[in-house]
Amino acid sequence: MSSKRKKHVCEECGWHCVGDDKILKAKDPFYGYGELWACPKCREQSMVRACDYPYCFRPTSSGIPLNGKVLFGKKYLRLCSEHAVWLDKKMKEELG
């Protein structure tokens, strides 16, 4: 298993996983393409990507490009609000 497997978290109940094989999936009946994802614990369609920071499973909604740097094996990170602040600070420190 690769450490690059994406983390997901349920915004409703906090259930989380690495990779997406435990998430309930169904073909989208409205559009006929794509998938609807639901949490296997609470059955809500509230699975979102979790923070890319190691051991952090807080929900994220946006991604931050690293301007050519690689962190945690990625060139682009999705971070929770706390780690977005952490990254912003780190980038500023590295720029001097």
Chain contacts with Zn ion (rule: CB under 5 A):
10, 12-13, 15, 39, 41-42, 51, 53, 56, 58, 80, 83
Nearer to Zn ion, 41 or 96 (CB): 41
CB 73 within 8 A of CB 66: no
Query: Shortest approach of Zn ion to residue 30 CB, angstroms?
Result: 22
| Nearer to Zn ion (CB atom), residue 28 or residue 45 | 45
Distance of alpha carbon 92 from alpha carbon 41, whole angstroms = 40
Q: To the nearest 10°, report the CA torsion of 30, 78, 15, 17.
A: 90
For Zn ion, which is the closer residue by CB, 70 or 85?
85
CB under 8 Å to 93, separation ≥6 — which residues? Answer: none
